[in-house]
């Protein structure tokens, strides 16, 4: 079984702060079901 959880938005901001460009990619299968990285979650970023 795959289990995922969202990171807090502030934690993500800190992780990507040193970079000028970032690719945001979501998964349409298991991460969507977990509400941790599907299309809806990627749209928030």
Which ranges of the chain would DSSP assign to H, the alpha helix? Answer: 9-16, 30-33, 39-44
pLDDT category of residue 17 using cuts at 50, 70 and 90: very high
- For range 4-33, the mean pLDDT: 85
Residue 3 in any domain: the answer is no
Residue 21 in any domain: the answer is yes
- Encoding tokens for residue 44? 């928030």
Share of the chain above pLDDT 70, in %: 82
Q: Can you give the pTM of this predicted structure?
A: 0.62
- What's the total number of domains in the chain? 1
Residue 34, pLDDT score: 67
Residue 28 in any domain: the answer is yes
Average pLDDT of the chain is 81
Residue 16 in any domain: the answer is yes
What domain range includes position 18? 9-44
Q: Rounded to an integer, what distance in angstroms lies between the CA atom of residue 33 and that of residue 25?
A: 16
pLDDT at residue 39 greater than cutoff 70: yes
Half-sphere exposure of 31 (CA within 13 A, CB side): 14
Residue 2 in any domain: the answer is no
Considering only residues 25 and 36, tell me which one the structure prediction assigns the higher pLDDT: 25
The helix/strand/coil state of 17 is: coil
Residue 33 in any domain: the answer is yes
């Amino acid at each position: 079984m795959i289990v995922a959880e969202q990171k807090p938005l502030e934690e993500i901001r800190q992780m990507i702060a040193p970079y000028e460009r970032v690719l945001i990619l979501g998964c349409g299968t298991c991460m969507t079901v977990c509400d941790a990285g599907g299309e809806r979650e990627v749209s928030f970023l």
